[in-house]
Structure formats: C-alpha cells, structure tokens
Amino acid sequence: MILRPATRADAAAMTALLNRIIAIGGTTAHEQPFSEAAVIAHYIEGDEPICCHVAEDPAGLIGFQCVGNNAALPTGWGDIGTFVDPSRQRSGAGAALFAATVPTARAAGLRVLNATIRADNRPGLGYYARRGFVDYTEDPDFRLKSGARVGRVSRRFDL
C-alpha cells in the first residue's frame, strides 16, 4: 500500500470513490454527489483543506483521509473525514491513513481533530473509536434531506 499526499491528479478517482459511497448511503452525511472541482476545493486545494492523504495499491485508490478548516470549530481544531472503498474496509488502509494524517495535522499547528459521524454509521463510529477519538457532543435529531432522523455524534482526538 502506498500512502501519499493527495494531488489534483487524484481528483477523478477520489470523486468516483466518494460518489460511490454517497450512492450506497449509510456511512456519510454527504447526500449530493461531488464534482471533481468540488473535491479539489473541499479536499485538495484552497482555504478549506489542511491536509489530505490517499492510500493506493497497484489496482488504484483504496481510500483517502482529509483534515479541513471549519469555522464552527474552535481555533486549533480540524475536521477529519475518512473515505475507504467499501470492498476494502478493515484492510488497514484507514489505520495507515490516520498514521499519516496525525503528524501532518500536528505540523500544521492543530491541537484537536474533530470527527462528526452519523449515529447510524456503525463502521465509522467503530473506526474513530479504535483510533482513540472520544465523544464530546451529539445531535440525536440530525436529519437527512429526506427527513430521515439519523442523529450524529462528534468525537475528538487530542493531538
């Protein structure tokens, strides 16, 4: 497995993976597909992204993990998101991505990583718990655009 910072050249593969995860449903709060331009702006370049790493092998992209700025969070906090090919979950890619993200986030001056996860996303909740994230707030009434109440949990990891 190769881990490296994401570049514009990764945008097409990242977009395809993210949109596949959105279409499957249940493991992301994102409900609308992303364009390549939106993936670049949200995860790779611009004011929002702090860092983004991809995991790949000879077959292609396995997943990616990004940390971004969020004005709703305190200074020194970054929002983390992890997206792994559903057929490759529990392959070690998520753990490897996190091992690459932590030192980069620290070097960027962050003190805390925030993960806000749908309360019905058991794989996501488990992933962040295994990394050492702890709950600090929840929104049991969070609803999707369809009106479905799924709730969400915010967890923190002190760097």
What SS3 class is residue 147? coil
The CATH number covering residue 26 comes to: 3.40.630.30
**pTM for this model (two decimals):** 0.92
Which residue's structure tokens are 């449903």?
Answer: 25
Q: What is the pLDDT of residue 24?
A: 84
- Provide the number of structural domains found in the chain: 1
Report the Cα 1 to chain-centroid distance in Å.
Answer: 19
- Domain assignment of residue 53, given as a range: 2-158
Q: Pick the closest to residue 131 from 118, 115, 109 (CA basis).
A: 115
129 contacts: CB under 8 Å, gap ≥ 6? 155
Task: Give, for all 159 residues of the chain, the pLDDT tens digit.
Answer: 999 999 999 999 999 999 999 988 777 778 788 999 999 999 999 889 999 999 999 989 999 999 999 999 999 999 999 999 888 777 789 999 999 999 999 999 999 999 999 999 898 999 999 999 999 999 999 988 888 898 999 999 999
Q: What is the pLDDT of residue 133?
A: 98
Q: What is the pLDDT of residue 32?
A: 86
Spatial separation of the C-alpha atoms in residues 80 and 101, rounded to whole Å: 9
